[in-house]
Chains A and B, each alone.
Chain A
Amino acid sequence: MISIVLEPQMQSTPGGLWLAVAVLLPFVGMMIGLCLGGRHVRRVALLTALLGLALAVVIASSWLHADGPLVYVLGGWSPPLGIALRADGPSVVMMLAVAVVVCGIGVFAYADFDTPAGKAESRSPFTYWLLLLAVWGSLNLVFVSGDLFTLYVALELLTFAGVPMVCLDGKSETLRSALRYLLFALCGSVLYLLGAVLLYGGYGTLDIVLLSERIQPGVIAWTAAALMTVGLLAKTALFPLHIWLPPAHGGAPAAASAVLSALVIKGSWFLVVRLWFDVMPGVVTLPSAQLLAAMGATAIVVGSVVALRQERLKLLVAYSTVAQIGYLFLMFPLAFDAAGNALAQDAALTAGVLQAVSHATAKAGMFMAAGLVYAALGHDRIADLAGVARALPITVLAFVVSGVALMGVVPSGAYLAKKLLLDAADQSGQWWWTIVLQGGAVFTAGYVVLVLVNALRRPAEPISTVKRVARSSELAALTLSVASLLLAFAALGPVPGDLIKNPLAPEELVTTLLVLLGGGALAFALARSPLAGSARVGAAAAGESVRRLVRPIGTAFESADGFVRRWPSASIGLLTLAALFGWLLLGGTPH
């Protein structure tokens, strides 16, 4: 009998079992909820969420004490035959963040998604809680899976749990959005599976660690990388593949939109990160990473401008998600090592994960706030929000805080992430990303200012609310938004502290002021309804001429967005991008 010396990542580590439990727990909760049914579901779900949060903390602490990633080898069969669950830094952080956000969303939805009195069970609350747990379990599987096929299954589970959330109300409009979402996501997942199959054919394993040792730049790896990346981008809805996102996220109930926007898209984004950083760091090339980030930059500009053109608050927030997804891809070219040959797991990756966490918390808070406004007023027309700040002060505060967190001004998690990326851009001499990073904040500020100005306006007549919103829901939204700001304290831990000198230094305040002013100007020029309302006549007239001048720009962005969101252009775009990625991978090989 030959004794095989197992590599460190091929056998279970202490605490590794928790990873399996973390995947199982939400699904067990879902099964229990399904069996108990009716009014018990939400209690089961909330209890599971709290248990899961505790579990995530346990995993994080055992990861901190362990030397290297946590590993659990299922059934004792080590890869390549068996399947390993692995948790490294990014997965632990994402698991923790998702657990926090799920708890927040659970508290928010607790009052809203209750079975109506006199009924044993009603469809939409019952389904909502089960789907919430399913999304969470699938996400945990995405974060800890150690091989590309398990990741495929996890990703499909995530889609199957996310799609029905879009059409909880069963109206034909939302059913249509859900179907579009599902079909486009399926298109992406077949491309991903095709890539995984090619990799198996080429290298005889799908285990991430083994694959990263065996993989060589070559036709198989390039084709697989291009297909898998583009397939995942379709699921993440990175511009111009966001065909399904705005109607799906804008039409779903707020508690569901928060899940979809804050959590579900992070699953496929995380998989892109896994693929590029862990599986093929030496195969991907700088030009292909530049393309990825260029798509991100376009997403920021188009998403933000179209967000400004929206009439309804929830659609504005949905388009802001389109823009924010762009931010998540800016780190890729900045993470290349000095020679530009391979991706390095350094500060840029930390920044990317920080950005994802900060977006997850802030966007959940923002969608909740938008949902509360809708629930209280019975509508969410941005032009008619006057007086809402007085009626719902906590909600509007939550919206503003989450907006500030998304902008990345001092102090917030996104601010730290931006600093890290700016630093990486300086060091690698990629000055163009400095412009995108600084300018992106102005675009984000635009739609936050737009909403804020409308919400703070004095109403012509006293505002009438159709429903009292639960205080617990308002506080949940505020807590998640504030959590996003508090991520700035990450500077004390994993982020090098010398980057952040003094957040209250004059130059930082000037930057913040410039961002807000720029955002205000953008909102003034491009918003659909006049920002200033009926201000002084002279100023209004001058402003109106400016608005008339830039109106074609706004409509041009809108029609561009409408064009790429048609099915044929989106799917042809998908194939073109796959070809483009393949070509850039081919062209950038180091000789």
Chain B
Amino acid sequence: MTVETLYGLCAAGLVGLGLYGLIVQPHPLRKIVAFNVMGSGVFLLFGALARRGAAAGLNGDPVPQALLITGIVVAFSATALAVALVVRLIESSGSASLSSEPPSTDSHKPPTS
């Protein structure tokens, strides 16, 4: 098994873990962490793919690195925004739960606004 394959499998594992967390964890903070785990998986995969550029005689394909940095910045901003929303939600309602109302009556409870 080449080292790239190993990285690829590792990336797949991270994406799977992240997806699992996003689905089953009810707390938004845990969902945010799960999103980051999943994102790391994608970035790792991208890095591993860049290594395959070596086949063309280069040490690695530089384009994915440039894209990766941008991707990480985007994921970072997303995390910051999400955490800020969670903090505001806790400040204003006292809990960070995503579903305040029982889901079956979700659609016909008038929101407060």
Contacts and interface: CB of A to CB of B under 8 A. Distances in A.
Q: Do A and B bind each other?
A: yes
A311 B39 contact: no
A164 B77 CA distance: 13
A170 B46 contact: no
A187 B70 contact: no
A286 B73 CA distance: 37
Nearest to A163: B81
Interface in B75-90: 77-78, 81-82, 85-86, 88-89
Interface string A558-583: 11011101111001100100000000
A561 B108 CA distance: 11
Nearest to A177: B111
A179 B82 contact: yes
A521 interface: no
B2 interface: no
A81 B63 contact: yes
A163 B80 CA distance: 13
A187 B98 contact: no
A251 B112 CA distance: 8
B17 interface: no
Interface in B57-74: 61, 63-64, 67, 70-71, 74
Nearest to B15: A194
Contacts of A251: 111, 113
Given A246-B107, A250-B111, A170 B88 contact: yes
Given A175-B92, A566-B103, A571 B23 contact: yes
A183 B35 contact: yes
Interface residues of B, number: 48
A281 interface: no
B100 A176 contact: yes
A368 interface: no
A169 B49 contact: no
Contact of B111 (A156, A174, A198, A565): A174
B82 to A, nearest CB: 5
A236 B100 CA distance: 24
Interface in A129-157: 149, 152-153, 156
Interface of B: 15, 18-19, 22-24, 26, 28, 31-32, 35, 38-39, 42, 45-46, 49, 52, 61, 63-64, 67, 70-71, 74, 77-78, 81-82, 85-86, 88-89, 92-93, 98-100, 103-108, 110-113
The 8 closest A-B pairs by CB, nearest first: A172-B93, A201-B49, A172-B92, A571-B23, A175-B89, A566-B103, A179-B85, A251-B111
17 contacts: A81-B63, A152-B74, A156-B74, A170-B92, A175-B85, A175-B92, A176-B89, A178-B85, A180-B98, A183-B31, A193-B39, A200-B63, A200-B64, A251-B113, A563-B104, A565-B103, A566-B106
